[in-house]
Amino acid sequence: MGIMKEKLNQVMYGAQRSAIREFSNLAKATPGCVALTLGEPDFDTPKEVEDAVAEAFRNHETHYIPNNGTLELRTRIAEFENERNGHSYTADNVIVTAGAEEGVFLSLFGILNPGDEVIAPIPAFIIYEEITKLCRGTFVPLDTSDTDFQIDKARLERLITPRTKAIVLNSPNNPTGCVLDQKSLDAVHDLAKEHGLFVIADDVYQRLVYKDGCHSIAEYEDLKDQLFLVQSFSKPYAMTGWRMGYVCMDAEIRERLELLHQFMITSTPAPFQRAAIEALDFDPTPFLKTYEKRRAFMLRRLSEIGLPVTEPDGAFYVFPSIRELGIGSGEFCRRMIREVGLAATPGFAFGCDDHIRLTYCYGDDELREGMDRLEKFVRILESEGRA
């Protein structure tokens, strides 16, 4: 068996496991542990969406559909994105994917040749780096930890080389919850136009924003032929297990990428097409209001504990700094599970080892208990003279 293992695709040996899953599994294996690790809404999928899929089953909509998704769903997606971003998409611009993760993979695999470079602001979700490496590309991190998680144009420009193929943006961001400001978006727009770069906009948290005036790179109409707009039904509609998402792109590029998509998954499940249409008509404001209250609680408790944090304007994460405690995020999170029974995700998983990620898409009781345990652990570290 060992001999055959050595014959695997060589890129597999550099692939990393998700630290989010690793620390979630450690929490499950620890009796009484409170886990604030997974970014999964604690709400049920809206009843209207569940009813739509039940109706699809009653109508026996369980057979093959077009590879890219039904015409009805792709048309509704195009209308939805046009309403939000002022675009002129049609069904021909859309591929329905198995969640946003397949959308990111499809986009990167479709554009990267060996050695091509992909720039992404960090901290960032691990998939951008890992998928880039699986596609035999080179991941180039853009550090934003000292600029309030905003993009410095001069710093970004210094990273662009003749091998640069794309810039990946995630706003609101996982893990920080921060939203890129207009100056950051303008910087990416200007450099992408100047250097002829693709932009992958991972906008899965765009419906979970707490203030007006937040914008997306997808709003620049003159980037349309360079843009991959990746979206998911998971986060705004509490549909994580449904694995439904989509990518909007230039129609000529879609014609090429659909060849790849059809050999990856054939299509997303037929009964879910009708449900996804229903989801796009659902208003997630009640979810958002709950997250907003939880965010206020988390920020207040972090202030009381003494952990600095940049206030998130979207998503459902906080990313406090543990720099002053003099301990790496991996050791911090492992010890915290063992000593006080609280699981968080270490910042090293996102390229920032002096932070941790806490998720507030959990019930109020869990959040209160979790933050009490976090305070207890911080006081332990302070008593050791680390702070």
pLDDT of 387 above 70? no
* 294 and 358 fall within a common domain: yes
| CATH code assigned at 148 | 3.40.640.10
pLDDT digits (tens, 9 = 90+) for 295-313: 999 999 999 999 999 999 9
Three-state secondary structure string covering the chain? CHHHHCCCCHHHHHCCCCHHHHHHHHHHCCCCCEECCCCCCCCCCCHHHHHHHHHHHHCCCCCCCCCCCCHHHHHHHHHHHHHHHCCCCCHHHEEEECHHHHHHHHHHHHHCCCCCEEEEEECCCCHHHHHHHHCCCEEEEEECCCCCCCCCHHHHHHHCCCCEEEEEEECCCCCCCCCCCHHHHHHHHHHHHHHCCEEEEECCCCCCECCCCCCCHHHCHHHHHHEEEEEECCCCCCCHHHCCEEEECCHHHHHHHHHHHHHHCCCCCCCHHHHHHHHHCCCCHHHHHHHHHHHHHHHHHHHHHCCCCCCCCECCEECCECHHHCCCHHHHHHHHHHHHCEECEEHHHHCCCCEEEEECCCCHHHHHHHHHHHHHHHHHHHHCCCC
- State which of 256, 280, 304 marks the end of a domain: 280
Examine residue 155 and state whether it is found in any structural domain, yes or no: yes
pLDDT (0 to 100) of residue 213: 83
Instruction: Estimate to the nearest angstrom the gap between the alpha carbon of 264 and the chain centroid.
Output: 21
Residue 51: inside a domain: no
Distance of alpha carbon 216 from alpha carbon 110, whole angstroms:
22
In a domain, 55, yes or no: no
Structural domain total, the chain: 2
Q: Do 114 and 139 touch, CB atoms closer than 8 A? A: no
State whether 202 and 80 are in the same domain: yes
pTM attached to this predicted model: 0.94
* pLDDT tens by residue, 247-277: 999 999 999 999 999 999 999 999 999 999 9
Q: Are residues 102 and 243 in the same domain?
A: yes
* Cα(317)–Cα(126) distance, integer angstroms: 15
Buried b / exposed e across 293-316, counting CB within 10 Å, b at 16+? ebbeebbebbeebebebbebbbbb
Do 267 and 292 share a structural domain?
no
**Domain identity same for 177 and 306:** no
- Structural domain span for residue 378: 2-45+284-383
Clarify whether residues 90 and 126 are in a common domain. yes
Is the same domain home to 74 and 223?
Answer: yes
Residues 36 and 94 both lie in one domain:
no
Has residue 374 been placed in a domain? yes
Of 76-90, 116-130, 272-286, which range is least confident? 76-90
305 falls within a domain: yes
Residue 8 reports pLDDT greater than 90 = no
Domain stops at, among 280, 315, 345: 280
Looking at residue 77, its pLDDT comes to 98
pLDDT at 28: 84
Query: Which band of pLDDT confidence, cut at 50, 70 and 90, is reported for residue 87?
Result: confident
Q: Identify whether 238 is part of a domain.
A: yes
- Domain end among 246, 261, 280: 280
* 50 within a domain of the structure (yes/no): no
Q: Is the pLDDT of residue 1 over 70?
A: no
Q: Which two tokens stand for residue 207?
A: 């419906």
Q: What is the pLDDT of residues 176-231, one digit of tens each?
A: 999 999 999 999 999 999 999 999 999 999 999 999 888 999 999 999 999 999 99
The backbone torsions φ and ψ at residue 72, rounded to the nearest 5 degrees and listed phi first, read -60, -45
- Nearest alpha carbon to residue 69 among 247, 327, 213, 199: 247
Give residue 5's pLDDT: 78
pLDDT of residue 25: 84
Tell me, yes or no, whether 125 and 265 share the same domain: yes
Q: What is the mean pLDDT of residues 3-27?
A: 80
For the stretch 46-77, pLDDT in tens is: 999 999 999 999 999 999 999 999 999 999 99
**Same domain, residue pair 71 and 169:** yes
Q: In terms of domains, do 161 and 232 share one? A: yes
For residue 32, the domain's CATH number is 3.90.1150.10
202 and 217 inside one domain: yes
Residue 20: the pLDDT is 77
In a domain, 363, yes or no: yes
